[in-house]
Amino acid sequence: MQIKFSRHARRRARLFRISERTVSDILKDSALSQGKHEIIKAVKGFKYPLKIVVYVESSTVTVITNYPLRKGRKG
C-alpha cells in the first residue's frame, strides 16, 4: 500500500504538529476498500481525536486532509 499526502494534508499536519508517521500507522491498521473514507481515531498525545480523510484507488491511498476534531467527540 502506497500512501501519498496532498499538499493540503502536509500543510495541515505541519500546522497541527501531526507527524506523517502517525497518520501512516493509523492507515496501516485500518482495512480500507475503494473510495473515500473518513477515519476518526483518538491518538495518545493529542487532546482531541484526529480526523483523517483519505481516498483509496487500487493500491494507492491519498490523504486529503488530517486535523484534530475539536467539535463533537472528545477522546
Positions in the chain short of pLDDT 50: none
Find, among 30, 29, 24, 31, the residue nearest to 9 by Cα: 24
What count of Cα atoms within 13 Å lies in the side-chain half-sphere of residue 63? 30
Q: What is the pLDDT of residue 71?
A: 66
- As a whole number of angstroms, the distance between CA 59 and CA 17 comes to 27
Domains defined for the chain, CATH in brackets: 2-68 (3.30.2310)
Q: What is the pLDDT of residue 70?
A: 81
Q: What is the pLDDT of residue 1?
A: 85
Q: Which residues pair with 37 in a beta bridge?
A: 54
Residues in the chain: 75
Q: What is the pLDDT of residue 22?
A: 95
